[in-house]
Amino acid sequence: MIQVKRALKIMRVISIYRLDMLLDKRALPTFLRVLIAPAAFFGNTESNRGIRLRKALEELGPIFVKFGQLLSTRPDLIPSDICSELSKLQDSVPPFSSELFKKTVEDALGSKVDVIFKTFDDDPLASASIAQVHGAVMPDGRDVVVKAVRPGIEKIILEDLALLFTIAKLVQKYSPDGERLHPVEVVSDYQTVILTELNLQSEGANASLLRHNFEKSPLLFVPEILWDYSNEKVLVMDRIYAAPVTDIDALRAANVDLKLLAERGVEIFFTQVFEHNFFHADMHPGNIFVDCKEPTSPTYIAIDCAIMGSLSKEDQFYMARNLLAIFNRDYRLVAELHIRSGWVGKNISVNEFTGAIRAVCEPVFQRPLNEISMGHMMVQLFNTARTFNMEIQPSLVLLQKTLLNVEGLGRQLYPQLDLWASAKPFLEKWVKKRYSPLGVYKSLRTQLPDWIEQFPQLPPLIFEALEKARRTEYLDSTSGSQKSERIGSRITLGLVLMSSGVLTAYPAWLQSITQIPLLNLLVVVTAIFLIVAR
C-alpha cells in the first residue's frame, strides 16, 4: 500500500512538472498515456526542462535529491542544460530529534551517551538525507563529531530504489534517448553509492586510508577516526575548526595565498589519482575546508569520504599518457591510446578517430591555456569517443567528475589558475618515475613471488606447446623445421637461465623479497622473454 501511494505521488509530480515531455509519448503504452494525459492541462511548462526536473526531485524528497546530484555528475550521459540545473540541488534535510539520535548512538555502541561523552550537543551541526552530525566532547577533553545514520532510512531507500528502477526501465524503453542515456545503469550505480553510504564503517576506513596517504604531507589533512567508538551505524572523529573553502572573504581576511591554495588543490588531485590511486570522489565545496593557521602554506581539510575512486593500473597509465598527448596536441597518439586501452574497439579507423579528436581539441587550444577547462575537454572527448562505441567506465566517470570539481573550485579561488601548467610537469615526472629502471625493478620485485610460485608449472606447459606446434602443417616444410628448432633453442636457453636466476635468488627470497639482487631479476625476465618470443 505504501509503495502504491508513493508511486501515485511520483505520477502526480511527473504530471505537475511535465516530465512526460522528456518521453516519446507515441511509444508509450495506452495505460501510461491515459495516466499522464491530464498533465497537458494542469502541468507547468513555463520553466525549461532542467528547472522542472530539479523542482520535481526536490518535491519527491531526499533520496531523489541525491539521485539528482548523481545525475549532475554524469555529463557523459545527461544533456548539459539538465546537468547544469541539477548541480544546484542542495541536500538540506530537516533534522530528526536529538533523543532519537542519542538512542541510535546508544544502540550502536551499547552504552549511554552520558557515559561515552563528557558533553553532547543536542543541536545538530549538519543534517543530510542519510545521516546527521552532532558535536561532542570525549572524557579526556577531545572535541569530536558524532555521525549516525537516520533510523529507518534503509527501508525508505530500498523502496525508492525499486521505484527508480521501474522509472528507469520505462525511460530506457520509451524515451527517444533511452538507449544512449543508460538509465538502468545509472540507477544501478546510484544504488551502489547510496547503499555504501549507509555503512559508516566503510566511510571511516576510507578516511583512515586517505589520512595515512597524506600523513607526512602539508597539502591535505583528514580528521582521525576514533575506532573504539565507531561501527556501521555510528562514526566518531576529530572535530575540525576551519574555514569553508567557498568562504573567499574569510580566506582573504586570513591573508591566505589563494593562488597557492588553488595550485595545491590540483596537486592533491593528481597525487591521489596517480601516486596513491585512491581519490576522494565527492569533492564538492561542502566537504572541503581550509586550515588558515599558516596563510602562506594553507592546508586543505577533507571530510565525508563515503565515495572514493581508483583506477586499474592500465587505465591509470593510459589516462596519464592521454593527458600528456593532449598537452602536446598529439591527436593520433590519443586515438591510438584509446584503442590500445580497449576503451574503443580495435576495428575503429585510427585516422577517422584522430580526425574526430582533432576537431574537438584544436579549436579549444586557440584560447589561452588558463581559460581552457581540462575537465570539460575530457567530457567532450568522451562524448566524441561514444560515437565510436566507447563504453564509459564508472571509474573514469568518477575521475572526470572529480576533475571538474577540482578545476571549478580552483578557478573560484584563483580565476587565473592554469591547470595545464600544474598538471603537465606532474604527469611527465610520474611517467618517467614509473618506467625508470628503478620503477621497473620495483614492479618486477612485486611480481617475482608469483613467478616463483608458478615456475614448476612452466615445463609441462612448454612441452605441451611444443607438441602442439609439431602437429601443425607448416612444420613439414624446411622453414617450419627451422622455426621449430629456433623455438626449441629459445625454450631450452630460457629454462636454463630461469632455473639459474630462480635458484640463485631463492635463498635471498627466503630471508626477504627485498633482498633479491637486480641481476637475478634480469635473468628471470630475460628467460621469460626468450620462452615467449616468436
pLDDT tens digits, one per residue of 59-109: 887 677 777 876 776 665 677 788 778 877 765 567 889 999 999 999 999
Between these two residues, 238 and 31, which has the higher pLDDT value? 238
Least confident of 166-170, 321-325, 398-402, 517-521: 517-521
Segment holding 143, helix H or strand E: strand 143-149
The count of other CB atoms within 10 Å of the CB of residue 442 is 13
The count of other CB atoms within 10 Å of the CB of residue 399 is 23
The structural domains of the chain, with segments of one domain joined by +, span: 2-92+153-196, 254-435, 441-532
Residue 338's Cβ-count burial label (10 Å; 0-12, 13-18, 19+) is buried
CA geometry: angle 361, 365, 370, nearest 5 deg: 125
CA geometry: angle 323, 324, 330, nearest 5 deg: 100
Is the predicted pLDDT of residue 533 greater than 90, yes or no?
no
Residue 387's Cβ-count burial label (10 Å; 0-12, 13-18, 19+) is exposed
Pairing between β-strand 119-127 and β-strand 131-137 as defined by DSSP bridges: antiparallel
Note if 282 is an active site residue.
yes
Tell me the mean pLDDT in the region 218-244.
95
DSSP string, 251-311: HHHTT--HHHHHHHHHHHHHIIIIIIS-EES---GGGEEEE-SSTTS-EEEE---SSEE--
Please choose, from the candidates 91, 108, 406, the residue with its C-alpha nearest in 3D space to the C-alpha of residue 266: 406
Mean pLDDT rounded to a whole number for the chain: 79
CA geometry: angle 115, 207, 158, nearest 5 deg: 80
What is the reported pLDDT for 512? 41
pLDDT digits (tens, 9 = 90+) for 311-365: 888 888 888 898 899 888 999 999 999 888 888 888 889 999 999 999 988 988 8
What is the reported pLDDT for 197? 83
- Which three cell numbers mark 495? 629454462
Q: How far apart are CA 202 and CA 195, in angstroms?
A: 11
With a pLDDT cut of 90, the percent of the chain lying above it is: 30
Q: How far apart are CA 142 and CA 125, in angstroms?
A: 17
CA geometry: angle 47, 50, 54, nearest 5 deg: 95
Q: Contact, 285 vs 418, CB < 8 A?
A: no
The count of other CB atoms within 10 Å of the CB of residue 298 is 25
pLDDT digits (tens, 9 = 90+) for 10-50: 777 877 887 766 666 666 666 566 666 666 656 666 678 88
- Which three cell numbers mark 21? 515531455
Is the predicted pLDDT of residue 515 greater than 50, yes or no?
no
Between these two residues, 131 and 178, which has the higher pLDDT value? 131
What lies within 8 Å, CB to CB, of 138 at 6+ separation is 117, 118, 144, 226
Catalytic pick from 20, 160, 282, 291?
Answer: 282
Least confident of 22-31, 456-465, 468-477: 468-477
